[in-house]
Amino acid sequence: MKKENSKYRKKENSEENRREVFWGDNDYSFEGIKVVPLGGLGEVGRNMMVLEWKDEAIIVDIGLNFPEEKTPGVDYVIPNISYLEKNKKKIMGVVLTHGHYDHIGAIPYILDKIGNPPLFGSALTLGITKKRQEEFPLQPKLKLNEIKEGDKIHMGSFSVEFFHQNHNVPDGHGVIIETPAGNIVHTSDFKFDLTPTNAPPTSFDRLTEIASRGVLLLMSDSTGAESEGRSLSEKVIAENLSTIFEKAKGRVITATFASLINRVQDIITLSEKYGRKVVVEGYGMKTNIEIAKNLQLIKTQKGTIIPSEKAADYPDNKITILSTGAQGEGNAALMRILSKQHRFFQLKKGDTVVLSSSVIPGNERAVQNLKDDIMRQGADIFHSQMMDIHAKGHAQEEELREMIRIMSPQFFMPIHGQYSMMASHAKIAREEGVPKNNIALIDNGFILKVDKEKIDISKKAVPVSPVMVDGSGIGDVGGVVLHDRMELAESGIFVVIAVIDKKTRRIKNSPDIISRGFIYLRESQILLTEVRKKIMEIVSKGGKNNKDVKEIKPEIKTKLESFLYSKTGRRPLVLPVVIEV
């Protein structure tokens, strides 16, 4: 079965290998297709696209995004599905294009809420999806349906056919969706690669064949649209990595994303070529290698991968450490190796460290510190600003032009990317002859309606405000909570507790003060004494005719805030607690 699969991938387009899966009811009367982007437009990540026709809807990808500076404490950001919850009954199925978290990562948080529809994806995509779902034992079992290149799924009036796309994870696909209005092509993330690792090269024949059916609307990946020229082939990367392996005299420590399964294959293959055993470090890395090996999407010779505790049995020049942590993530394996907190490994002179990944915006400083630390400890370092040892998975300007030329769509919609990337992509499409009015450059939530003659964009957007995942809470962290967190991070908190005697209306004892993140309390005794005096004044000044607690609290807050600011130039969150006894 496995072998057939891998053989199959080579026989693209061969009719006899196509399966047809039917789903829902067919209804071919026509009124225009609604395209509803719930994520992935104006941002890199959180990809989710809904296609709707009458009472039928299908979804392409349900991805997550990673939090940014303004969302402290948040684990993930996921699409807002209020629009879908109202239209739950319409949903016939979800198409998953590939196994990256920005395409499948929000499934555990969303699927149950939209009626647990069936999922369609390749073996690896489903493998990663399934493994992740295991971390959510309370969620219902997923309805997984494996598809292969060329498979066609019928869901109501939609038919979805998968075509192989190259990216930096294997087993990824674009889709052509037959609809009552015409064919819609969704490229998903892609690059053209004639010499990829671990995957068949881009088949322009297949793309041409798809285009020959007529493309009403092309939705294409914009992530690389601001980069000139063409993306690097994985072959170039493998060659450059090979040079590093050839010259390395001690251990080679490679750090990359666990999701870059093709890169992982490169590193394993090179280790075998140069007689090195491979130690795998990091939970995500171990899991993904296991899934991909089981599907024969990562190939290793017997005995190449050894347990960490066996590494000491080999000389340094026979060892590769394959690790996570290329972004300087504090808890990743590479950081523990650097900070001497790893159980088995410490960095040493003679080691060669290879950071084979791009730097995610926001991580620049952490990666710089990582580089500095590696060099300080006397190891050699190679990173992607020094030589081409990382290729992004996204088509650049020339490839995007080619995709538009091949598909020659009637309408064009840039997807996947910051607004500036989508705008550059729209410009490319205009230059390739798509009329301006046929291009839908829109943000998340705006509905594109498309039929055989024209497109129309809704004036209003459906709700797309990001939903925060924090711990086990989904959506219970919002504007107010995040605003408070950022204020707390700025200047901390200052809690004062005053106990008032009901009868005398006077303060009992000295007020308690608790503060965190504001100032060293121990070194600020004078300030604290003054604060206590101020509180007692406020409470006591009216004597027995003293005010109500409800009036005292805001007065303490206002007066202390301005007092603390005048003394320290800081604005901690002042929380007065007034207790009557």
Q: Which of 550, 557, 565 is nearest to 490 (CA)?
A: 565
Q: Which two tokens stand for residue 4?
A: 């057939």
Q: Which of 237, 220, 219, 240 is nearest to 392 (CA)?
A: 237
Near a copy of itself by CB under 8 A: residue from 8, 12, 30, 72: 72
Q: Whose Cβ is closer to a copy of itself: residue 144's or residue 528's?
A: 528
Catalytic residue (choose from 189, 221, 351, 373) = 221
Binding piece for a copy of itself, criterion CB under 8 A, among 65-73, 103-111, 161-169, 211-219? 65-73
String marking each residue 18-57 x if it binds a copy of itself according to CB under 8 A: ------------------------x---------------
Tell whether residue 194 is a contact of a copy of itself (CB under 8 A).
no
Tell whether residue 497 is a contact of a copy of itself (CB under 8 A).
yes
Q: Which of 335, 405, 35, 337 is nearest to 192 (CA)?
A: 405
- Reply yes or no on whether 470 is catalytic: no
Near a copy of itself by CB under 8 A: residue from 371, 401, 547, 559: 371
* CA atoms of 319 and 304, how far apart (whole Å): 10
Tell whether residue 557 is a contact of a copy of itself (CB under 8 A).
no
What backbone torsions phi and psi does residue 144 show, to the nearest 5 degrees? -95, 130
Least separation, in Å, of the C-beta of 172 and a copy of itself?
25
Q: Which two tokens stand for residue 438?
A: 């046929």
- Reply yes or no on whether 394 is catalytic: yes
Near a copy of itself by CB under 8 A: residue from 250, 284, 350, 517: 517
* CA atoms of 418 and 67, how far apart (whole Å): 15
Q: Residue-wise over 568-580: b if at least 16 C-beta within 10 A, else e?
A: eeebbbbebebee
Tell whether residue 464 is a contact of a copy of itself (CB under 8 A).
no
Q: Whose Cβ is closer to a copy of itself: residue 194's or residue 514's?
A: 514
Q: Whose Cβ is closer to a copy of itself: residue 419's or residue 563's?
A: 419
Tell whether residue 284 is a contact of a copy of itself (CB under 8 A).
no
How many residues belong to the chain?
581
Amino acid identity of residue 103, one-letter, is: H
Tell whether residue 519 is a contact of a copy of itself (CB under 8 A).
yes
Near a copy of itself by CB under 8 A: residue from 14, 368, 529, 562: 368
Least separation, in Å, of the C-beta of 416 and a copy of itself?
14
Near a copy of itself by CB under 8 A: residue from 3, 28, 29, 69: 69
Tell whether residue 490 is a contact of a copy of itself (CB under 8 A).
yes
Tell whether residue 68 is a contact of a copy of itself (CB under 8 A).
yes
Near a copy of itself by CB under 8 A: residue from 29, 361, 459, 526: 361
Tell whether residue 435 is a contact of a copy of itself (CB under 8 A).
no
In sequence order, the β-bridge partners of residue 51 are 35, 58
CA distances from 456 to 181, 443, 502 (A): 14, 14, 68
Q: Whose Cβ is closer to a copy of itself: residue 55's or residue 555's?
A: 555
Amino acid identity of residue 556, one-letter, is: I
Given strand 48-53, what is the order of strands in its sheet? Answer: 144-146, 119-121, 91-95, 56-60, 48-53, 33-39, 446-450, 455-461
Tell whether residue 505 is a contact of a copy of itself (CB under 8 A).
no
Tell whether residue 470 is a contact of a copy of itself (CB under 8 A).
yes
Binding residues for a copy of itself, how many (CB under 8 A)? 66
Q: Where are the alpha helices (DSSP H) in 419-478?
A: 419-431
Q: Which two tokens stand for residue 516?
A: 């965190």
Given strand 20-23, what is the order of strands in its sheet? Answer: 20-23, 152-155, 158-165, 172-179, 182-186, 217-221, 411-415
String marking each residue 215-254 x if it binds a copy of itself according to CB under 8 A: -----------x----------------------------
Near a copy of itself by CB under 8 A: residue from 144, 236, 461, 488: 488
Tell whether residue 385 is a contact of a copy of itself (CB under 8 A).
yes
Tell whether residue 376 is a contact of a copy of itself (CB under 8 A).
yes
Q: Which two tokens stand for residue 447?
A: 């509905």
Contacts with a copy of itself in 404-423 (CB under 8 A)? 418-420, 423
End-to-end CA distance of the chain: 77
Q: Whose Cβ is closer to a copy of itself: residue 275's or residue 569's?
A: 569
Q: Whose Cβ is closer to a copy of itself: residue 21's or residue 575's?
A: 575
Q: Whose Cβ is closer to a copy of itself: residue 334's or residue 381's?
A: 381
Q: Whose Cβ is closer to a copy of itself: residue 313's or residue 443's?
A: 443
Residues 6+ apart with CB under 8 A from 101: 63, 64, 259
Q: What is the DSSP string of 122-150?
A: -HHHHHHHHHHHTT-TTSPPP-EEE--TT
Catalytic residue (choose from 164, 167, 342, 394) = 394
Q: Whose Cβ is closer to a copy of itself: residue 182's or residue 224's?
A: 224
* CA atoms of 200 and 148, how far apart (whole Å): 14
* CA atoms of 440 and 414, how far apart (whole Å): 7
Q: Whose Cβ is closer to a copy of itself: residue 42's or residue 284's?
A: 42
Residue pair 174/190 in contact by the 8 Å Cβ criterion: yes
Residues 6+ apart with CB under 8 A from 386: none
Helix, strand, coil percentages for the chain (3-state, nearest 5)? 35, 25, 40
Q: What is the DSSP string of 374-443?
A: HHHTT-EEEETTTSS----SS--HHHHHHHHHHH--SEEEEESB-HHHHHHHHHHHHHTT--GGGB----
Query: Could you list the residues that contact a copy of itself (CB under 8 A)?
Result: 42, 68-69, 72-73, 226, 361-362, 364-366, 368, 371-372, 375-376, 381, 385, 418-420, 423, 443, 470-473, 476-478, 480-482, 484-493, 495, 497, 499, 508, 512, 514, 516-520, 523-524, 565, 567-570, 573, 575, 577, 579, 581
- Residues classed as catalytic: 221, 394
